[in-house]
Amino acid sequence: MKAICGLDCSSCEMRESCGGCGETGGKPFGGTCMLALCCEGAGCGNCGRAFEAPCRLKEELIAEYNALGIEDMEEVTDLYALLGSYVNISYTLPGGQAIRFWDDKRVYLGNQIHKKNSDRCYGLTADENYLLVCEYGEGGSDPEIVVFRKRKGSGER
């Protein structure tokens, strides 16, 4: 099973439940994959090569995260394909309303980065339109939104 973006899915523990990117027309798990959308539209400049090779979308997102200037966040050097159900944390707004930003069935780009001088982590999740940085404790406990914003140039995508 080979993904549209070039990732080799043979070692993925979820390969049977995703249905295969190529086999599902870029909709593994029943939702869209931002990498498949990018690669099918030749937006990443990476089609036909492994995703680990230079990918314009990945490079843009890394630059956007690092440009946020979050003081105690280590430099972002890599992003990974993440299933929405793993990153779709519920946040409680000041008025008590619970909110989720992502679709459990979509595949996003993100990472988990340790917060400097803390036992907490930053969770990064992005799609073609939005960037999210959250902070949380062990196992995603006590999540807080640090940044949720529209991506630079997202209207052009």
Write out pLDDT tens, residues 72-120: 999 999 888 888 988 999 999 889 999 999 999 888 889 999 999 999 9
Query: CB neighbours of 95 closer than 8 A, spacing ≥ 6?
Result: none
Comparing 13 with 103, the larger pLDDT belongs to 103
Compute, in degrees rounded to 10, the torsion defined by CA atoms 83, 22, 53, 14.
40
Residue 30 has pLDDT above 90, yes or no: no
Rounded CA-CA distance 70/59 in Å is 18
Rounded CA-CA distance 119/84 in Å is 24
Residue 138 has pLDDT above 80, yes or no: yes
Q: How far is CA 33 from CA 9, 22, 101, in A?
A: 14, 11, 16
Where do the structural domains in the chain lie, given as residue ranges? 9-156
Query: CB neighbours of 17 closer than 8 A, spacing ≥ 6?
Result: 29
Rounded CA-CA distance 25/29 in Å is 11
CA atoms within 13 A on the CB side of 58: 21
Output b/e per residue, 52-72; b: 16+ Cβ within 10 A.
eeebebbebbbebbeeeebee
Write out pLDDT tens, residues 85-97: 889 999 998 899 9
